[in-house]
Structure 1
Amino acid sequence: MTGAPSISGTTRLYVVLGHPVAQVRSPALMNPLFARLGIDAVLVPVHARPEHLERIVDGLRCVGNVDGIFVTVPHKAAVVALADRCSPMVEIAGSANALRRDADGSWYAENFDGLGFVAGLVAAGHEPKGRRVALVGAGGAGSAIAAALLSAGVDRLSVCDPDTARLAGLRSRLDAHWPGRTVTSAEPDLDGADLVVNATPLGLDPDDPLPFRPDLLPPGGVVADIIMHPRETRLLREAAALGHDVHYGIHMLDGQLDSYRAFFRLTDVPPTTRPRDVGHRARPYHDTRG
């Protein structure tokens, strides 16, 4: 199967929630996957403003043929409270980027941003183990990336975010698992960093300011951006012009593909054969079982 998906009355639905959604790349990744696997499903973008998020998620829970929800900016933290169960990674990061409807009708939250980012780094030849990393942004994606980088063995992680309360919460959760390996600050701390990651939305708009000044980086470092569209942000252009290796945002999504296949069970149990919940919302609770 190639080309546009064929939509019928049996088609299973997946959505990606964001504000905005024009930049999302997950439909271009997942819809060809559905086609290759012969799965009658489609992923579509849904523009969800923050003040409408809970109502939209509640509505999607009531739609009997919705199997999964992908989540992008700025909803990754807020959506955790709308899940029935969440993974250990979600507990550490405090954010989720995917929700799966299970056979009992409950919704299980996971976060693949960090795992996908690290997988993309490794595939591009930028092994994070032993590196000194500066991470700019402690939001939904940044928090998951922080946990994944520490798990991958970075030597030192510096995280900055102007939201001091959010930063303190993340630091506490990270220290519980990887004590003494994280430092935090309100402004970017680039001192000695050989990998710097922009995990903020700065760069989605061409008029956005830079998240940090690449001219302050030591020579020979890698500059990574998680923004996927535009592919080449102003940050990456300026970093490349200064001689730094650059790492594009699309690599993070590419690195998540196998994880999504397993999480949504796209290779073992066809979605059309799984029991469905037609609207009952279970009482929310958090579970650390995978």
Structure 2
Amino acid sequence: MEITGKTRICAIIADPVHHVKTPQGINRLCQEAGKDVAMLAVQVAAADLPDAVRGLRAMQNLAGFVVTVPHKTAVVKLCDELSEDAARMQAVNVVRRRPDGTLFGAILDGKGFVAGLREEGIEPAGLSAYLVGAGGAASAIAHALAEAGVSRLTLANRTKEKSQALRARLADAYPVLPVSLGGRDPQGHDLVINATSLGLKPEDPLPLDVTQLSADQVVAEIIMDPAETPLLKAAKRQGCTVQYGSPMLTNQLKLMAEAMGL
């Protein structure tokens, strides 16, 4: 692949950025399609996000950018327009730069996660789900699970106010779905999901009480690197079926490319 002055650029912004797999996927996808596009990984601290987005907005050969931890909710206010889903969830993970420099934000995490489950033969319809997290990815996954027809949903998050806000948004969109707030105990649920960044670093605490996991549960991650997080290792020891983080990204790549107009 040769990058020239005619190459369209896109980016993924994160902090940290070492774990991201999106550039490899997007670059491979575009190469296979014969498109002159290159994606780069860019590390941006939370405090620098407004300046970074201002700079991206000014890049006339920029197609768009993907957004991941910890920027998915903060970037909402930096977009000029949002998709219906992104506005409802108040989270964005892909932004298209229009020719006039305006930014259109969308959220694809939830669709990718549910598609990844189904790809592995796990149908969420009718399952009870326990979801750790209330940030951008968690919000998208919660809405996608509701749309897929889970029987009930428990939200567990360190900051209860965020869980309560997410429950309120779900109640507006899916008023018949039972949604409760939970703690660290995942018992009594068919599907257990970590939708936080806990597990990216070796020193991270476990996102839930793994001693309460049982062999009849499916335990899913959204983290891709490491592929086998401490949570998944513990779940395997408990006899659980595990779902790795990579299928969520794999199922989003084409959607991300379309969202950025590649």
The two structures have a TM-score, normalised by structure 1, of 0.87
Indicate conservation of the 8 Å contact 2:73/2:90, yes or no.
yes
- 1:214 maps to what in 2? 210
Specify the SS of the correspondent of 1:150: helix
Q: Does 1:235 align with 2:231?
A: yes
Q: 66, 72, 78: which one pairs with 2:62?
A: 66
Unaligned runs of 5+ in 2: none
Q: 134, 137, 140: which one pairs with 1:141?
A: 137
| Alignment: residue pair count | 262
1:182 CA drift (Å):
4.1
Indicate conservation of the 8 Å contact 1:228/1:248, yes or no.
yes
1:164 CA drift (Å):
2.0
Q: Which runs of 4+ in 1 moved over 3 A?
A: none
Indicate conservation of the 8 Å contact 2:85/2:106, yes or no.
yes
Pairing of 1:43-58 with structure 2 (within 5 A):
43-58=39-54
Indicate conservation of the 8 Å contact 2:171/2:177, yes or no.
yes
Pairing of 1:1-290 with structure 2 (within 5 A):
5-185=1-181, 187-266=183-262
Specify the SS of the correspondent of 2:69: coil
Residue identity opposite 1:128 in structure 2: P
1:201 CA drift (Å):
0.8
1:186 CA drift (Å):
5.6
Deviations 1:123-146 (A, max 9, x none): 000110000000000111111000
Indicate conservation of the 8 Å contact 2:12/2:66, yes or no.
yes
1:218 CA drift (Å):
3.5
Unaligned runs of 5+ in 1: 267-290
Q: Which deviates more from structure 2 when the two are superposed, residues 209-218 or residues 139-148?
A: 209-218
1:215 CA drift (Å):
2.5
- Relative to 1, partners in 2 of residues 1:218 and 1:241: Cα closer, same or farther, differing over 3 Å? closer
Matches of 2:67 and 2:101, distance apart in 1: 19
Q: Which deviates more from structure 2 when the two are superposed, residues 146-155 or residues 217-226?
A: 217-226
Q: Which deviates more from structure 2 when the two are superposed, residues 256-265 or residues 69-78?
A: 256-265
Indicate conservation of the 8 Å contact 1:92/1:147, yes or no.
no
1:190 CA drift (Å):
1.8
Indicate conservation of the 8 Å contact 2:213/2:235, yes or no.
no
Specify the SS of the correspondent of 2:121: coil
Q: Which deviates more from structure 2 when the two are superposed, residues 189-198 or residues 247-256?
A: 189-198
Residue identity opposite 2:6 in structure 1: T
1:238 CA drift (Å):
1.2
Indicate conservation of the 8 Å contact 2:93/2:105, yes or no.
yes
Indicate conservation of the 8 Å contact 1:16/1:70, yes or no.
yes
Matches of 1:21 and 1:167, distance apart in 2: 26
Deviations 1:80-105 (A, max 9, x none): 00001101111222110000012443
Indicate conservation of the 8 Å contact 1:134/1:189, yes or no.
no
1:237 CA drift (Å):
0.9
Specify the SS of the correspondent of 2:9: strand
Indicate conservation of the 8 Å contact 1:193/1:218, yes or no.
no
The two structures have a TM-score, normalised by structure 2, of 0.96
1:180 CA drift (Å):
4.2
Matches of 2:204 and 2:131, distance apart in 1: 18
Residue identity opposite 2:230 in structure 1: R
Indicate conservation of the 8 Å contact 2:65/2:260, yes or no.
no
Q: Higher relative contact order by CA 8 Å / sep ≥ 6: 1 or 2?
A: 1
Percent identity of paired positions between Structure 1 and Structure 2? 42
